[in-house]
Structure 1
């Protein structure tokens, strides 16, 4: 082991920790006061580095390059803070009373919009910034040069931490912020203008994220992938450190950055005759740390225990059986879908799109099973979709199993994964449950991505096609039958005593325990059921496309599932079906309509969140109930008038 190189990696870890802390501190501050899980926080980081690049190119040259460069970094962070304040006033202020998941959906829409805005303004190419004036050299580190700018970054983190401590403990505004984290309602009762306090906090958090991006300009090129990369790392740090804890964010940033640096420094080593590649662990080590912390200390290293948010909401209305008219309508929809292969002369693309929609419907319905009736918000459901897909592909190609048998056994592979992960997940709640599901999902993704000899690695697996007797439209009809039967089975489970017990645990854990329901066991079983049907969706997908890649287990796939469920509505059983169909049809047509389809799609999502806070299906049910109530009232009034006459 090269001792000098290892020491350099440790210093790199300290420099990386400063940047991670700036982003995570802003996210933690925003969550602590507004209780919004801001998925768009990584976009502020990305805007910071892009705006800094443009300002440096204009102000950081010539005789005043030093002043212009450092002034550009500060100005970029201030501009990002102003953009954050504008976003809070225009968008987020209108959804504070919505559920956490709808807030997450709205901020995800902002990610799409901001990403395409950056693409339109700066283009798709990576932009490499100038070196920092005065810090372009290096120091001698045991005979090896080490960049001076990294030493500057090492100092930035503790300096910002100290300034934030002074701001939050030695100013009246800081006292109000800390009071808001404890009891927002009491703060409002004392006459404090919460709206402008929230705006100030959001602007400060966005400014910190922008500063974190700006100071990375000499080290990292500005690119369009920085938003999701930054928000993933920031979420992990905030959860590991404890939601709302600024010191915890710094400790977590140090811990994760140094562990990653150690893995890089160790490289490949032989332990007991076996070569171990520690460098490959950098893809998953932060998720392993988060999973371990959440398992043994669910509220984070320096956080405080929180009540389970899913049990604090009022009990939802009981599920209602379908009316005869609704059953006829659904039979008509299935009949129309069954007729699509016959109509290929008029609609050649319709069967392909319909098959994709059907698979997405099954995936969204399996996720809704634990999100709606179960009250467990999963951010890693793609793990079971991917396990089902890879399970089918490996059983078919490596084990040489017949395609129908591989399709039937693949959901069991996903179910085993859900059985293992669910045991840990059901012991948490709220944001911590969500982030633990994400951690397990990323661990599975890392294994699939790096196990080249078994899963094909980043190339995936190809040549996974249905049997010859299922070629053409036959596989479409198989998909239609499997999806319809799966939805009916999931619906039957929810109306059975098990489904009633599951919803009872969601509405009130204490009351459910008091009447003898083992809530954790019921939730664990529900987790496994959802994993099995999610795996079935993945197995159907791999045989429909003939290949599978690690993208099937990515965070983006989990986000797609969340968007589908929330668009349709969590409170209704039709929600995931309507949401999945709407999401896929919109995405398909919008992607073909414009280069900036993400912004248009994000705008549509944002509009739907604003107009239909209960989801499309939930809004339709409310409208139907309102109309039925109005008709009943009219009939009663007419009957009363007839009696009086």
Structure 2
């Protein structure tokens, strides 16, 4: 048992970290509340603030004024960079569906990571101690750093400043009004562009300030952006999207849970906050302090368009493509066979996400959960039980379907961004468990040593298996799309109230779609596991889901063949960039994603059909 002094010291550490979390989350809440942008690049501004502060504070006089002045100057620079990005990139996607927004902001994440890597290098960078706060205070016999104690007051101070700003100024009242209904604010003559830019400046300023304030406590590194943005999203969702007070309460809750979790549940501390998020969303779907989100018009990038049956020309073209792919190993190198096998597997995964996203209008930020369940199920069956590959693939399909059955039951009770965040929470729980349960999953080292039958050991054999799998999977998903179930699923997407009025159980139909989608994603996970001969925790990671989202976008969200084309285009580009431009692949890939969303939102197939005729796809 721990004594009262240890517990109190942990409480203070938790409150200190809560201030940092609140600064990041409050900026994220402001940006989402007004612009409805799901900004995954918010962590990049936090990371940029840390690195800029390292440079500026090192150049400033080693005094208290030098440090605090450097911190504020760093946050100001980050805010101005945020303004520039808002005016040049984000302003063009305010009316776009969430999936396009998340892809653009993820592209920004890649760009920032590469630029920071080039400017500051790959190594962790340590900051000097804060002048005037280098010592420690003794509280109940425990030594607490003075700087940590000072940070405790930062959160409440900025909460008060933000409350005054939003409740006692005209500009703040406009922010609160835009949070409730931005279209009504625009109809009253308010310049939305200026309002959004100022809000984005404030949000990124707060993120940069949080990063600058954190460097005396921990080193700056290239992983800090993703780590903090996931926690920030958890806080914003728990507190209520757009609620500053909710973000503060949630930050305190998460900070304290982290602090005491290290003492009492060290193996599960990373899971606890996601469990809390899931519980809050189940019992208070809008968060602790959040109100109902008024849906915005989807604009020109709407994915809610009807599917069309394939024309005879399209059927003939499909048969020709399959024939060409069957003959490809006769002229292709082993390297190309390996890459194309990966393309086929990723096309199944992207197709499973496409089934939810385009057919049902359900945005899943945690679709990697089912992919990871499939890959780990196959790996465990192969290495722990010693069963053949066919059993492993069957176990993967059932595991993915079971994940859809369990997670879908909860997710179908929510809508919009809350549903998307709940899917992310489930994926992050599995991601963390795969790292923590070392004896079962291998931890960070994953599971290696998966073997294939002799007839599949060659690259050619696995190529044909992957081609068969993607062909059958695509055909089955297409059959489901044009079945009564598929029509009912699309009806719920187009108008849930009307569908319910004619007797459809929309939630149950969506639940069934989660099961179907999870099964195909599990199949893809198993095929990838046997292809690589290993599985790793990143199979559950955010980047795995984003890869699938990019493939769907690149191919075209309104086409059954979109995931196939998207997987080919995106994976080939990514592989070649990593192989030939190892130092700049993130920058180029990020710019590619951004340019694609802004310049060709309908995707390759959509652009082709728009240019040469209408017929599906």
TM-score for the superposition, normalised by structure 2: 0.96
Q: Which of 268, 281, 284 is equivalent to 1:281? A: 268
**CA distance in 2: counterparts of 1:402 and 1:189, whole angstroms:** 64
CA contact (8 A) 2:78 2:208 kept: yes
Once the two structures are TM-superposed, the CA of residue 189 in structure 1 deviates from its matched residue by 2.6
Aligned position for 1:240: 238
Instruction: Give the aligned partner of residue 510 of structure 2.
Output: 523
Q: Are positions 1:617 and 2:615 aligned together? A: no
1:574 aligns with 561
Secondary structure of the 1:372 match is helix
2:591 aligned to 582, 588, 603, which one?
A: 603
Residue-by-residue CA offset, 1:528-587 (whole Å, 9 max, x unaligned):
000000000011111111111111111111111112112222222222222211110110
Rate the CA distance shift 1:60–1:622 in 2: closer, same or farther, 3 A.
Answer: farther
Aligned to 2:9: 8
Rg comparison, structure with higher value: 1
Equivalent residue of 1:583, what SS?
helix
- Where 2:214 maps in the other structure, the secondary structure is coil
Distance in structure 2 (CA, Å) of the matches to 1:531 and 1:418? 5
Give 5+ residue unaligned stretches, structure 1. Answer: 267-277, 629-645
SS at 1:139's partner residue?
A: strand
- Name whichever of 616-625 and 439-448 sits farther off: 616-625
Q: Which residue does the alignment assign to 1:220?
A: 218
Distance, in Å, in 1 between the alignment partners of 2:147 and 2:395 is 54
Distance in 2 (alpha carbons) for counterparts of 1:586 and 1:292: 40
Q: Distance in 2 between matches of 1:262 and 1:350?
A: 51
Structure 1 residue ranges (4+ consecutive) displaced by more than 6 angstroms after TM superposition: 308-315
1:38 aligns with 2:39: yes
Cα–Cα, structure 1 residues 317 and 87, in superposed 2: closer, same or farther, change >3 Å?
closer
Distance between the aligned counterparts of 1:18 and 1:60, measured in 2?
Answer: 26
- Gaps of at least 5 residues in structure 2 are none
How many residue pairs get aligned? The number is: 612
How far 1:375 moved relative to its partner? 1.2
The alpha-carbon deviation at position 311 of structure 1 amounts to 10
- Structure 2 match to 1:631: none
Q: What aligned pairs does 1:250-269 form with structure 2 within 5 A after superposition?
A: 250-266=248-264
**Distance of 2:142 and 2:302 partners within structure 1:** 62
Contact 2:258 2:269 in 1 (8 A): yes
Displacement of 1:310 = 10
SS for the counterpart of 2:166 is helix
Q: Deviations over 1:360-394 (max 9, x none)?
A: 00000001111111111111111111111111111
**How far does residue 339 in structure 1 lie from its aligned partner after superposition?**
2.2
In structure 2, relative to structure 1, the CA distance for the partners of 1:176 and 1:311 (3 Å cut) is closer
Match in the other structure for 2:51: 50
Counterparts in 2 of 1:12 and 1:399: CA distance versus 1, 3 Å? same
Whether 1:372 aligns to 2:358 is: yes
Q: 2:409 aligns with which of 407, 423, 433?
A: 423
CA distance, structure 2, for counterparts of residue 117 and residue 314 of structure 1: 32
Offset at residue 67 of structure 1 (A): 1.5
Partner of 1:505: 492
Q: In the alignment, what sits opposite 2:472? A: 485
Distance 1:338 1:9 in 2: 62
Q: CA deviation at 1:400?
A: 2.0
* Aligned mates of 2:614, 2:378 — CA distance in 1: 46
Distance 1:168 1:422 in 2: 37
The aligned counterpart of 1:86 is 84
Q: How does 1:44-443 map to 2 (within 5 A)?
A: 44-61=45-62, 65-266=63-264, 278-306=265-293, 316-344=304-332, 347-443=333-429
Q: TM-score, normalised by structure 1?
A: 0.92
Whole-angstrom distance in 1 between the partners of 2:325 and 2:302: 38
